[in-house]
Amino acid sequence: MPLKTLVKLRRLWHLTAQVYISAQTTFDLNLSSSSVTSTKTSSSDHSQSSLQQGANIVLIELPGSKGTQSSQLSKHYKICRLSTGDLLRQATQDQSSSEGQRIRKAMEAGGLVDDHIVLSLIDKNLTKPEC
């Protein structure tokens, strides 16, 4: 399943800590101790772990702990971390941007920001050098 499809699932907050890995790898996330172990399910033997080869990890969970866990995963594996909440708050800071104004209006009204806007922000940030 592509990352864009998974990002659209962000509205399904009733799910508990679900992790999607784009490689054929099973990860055991012990959220209480923040340890991650991986077991290859593929028959091929690679010198690098799947995370080093560019796996996509998407955390979908009830409010609380996603930021902490993603920050720890990002530091441990030296991978890019994108938070849609952080991206939306950053976009609202640009007073001259029409996109920022639409985001701010939706957030102030207590509504959800359109999926196309969120996906656009993610796409823009995935092309940054740190990602």
For the stretch 68-105, pLDDT in tens is 888 888 888 888 888 888 999 999 998 888 999 999 99
Nearest CA-CA partner of 65 in 14, 17, 12: 17
| 85/67 Cα distance (integer angstroms) | 10
Task: Please indicate, yes or no, whether residues 93 and 73 belong to a single structural domain of this protein.
Answer: no
Task: Please indicate, yes or no, whether residues 66 and 93 belong to a single structural domain of this protein.
Answer: no
Q: What is the share, in percent, of the chain residues with pLDDT greater than 90?
A: 18
| 1/22 Cα distance (integer angstroms) | 8
pLDDT value at residue 10: 46
pLDDT value at residue 87: 93
Task: Please indicate, yes or no, whether residues 91 and 39 belong to a single structural domain of this protein.
Answer: no
Task: Please indicate, yes or no, whether residues 70 and 127 belong to a single structural domain of this protein.
Answer: no
pTM listed for this prediction:
0.56
Overall domain count for the chain:
2
Task: Give residue 4's pLDDT band: very low, low, confident or very high (50, 70, 90).
Answer: low
Task: Please indicate, yes or no, whether residues 4 and 53 belong to a single structural domain of this protein.
Answer: yes
Chosen domain end from 81, 98, 123: 81
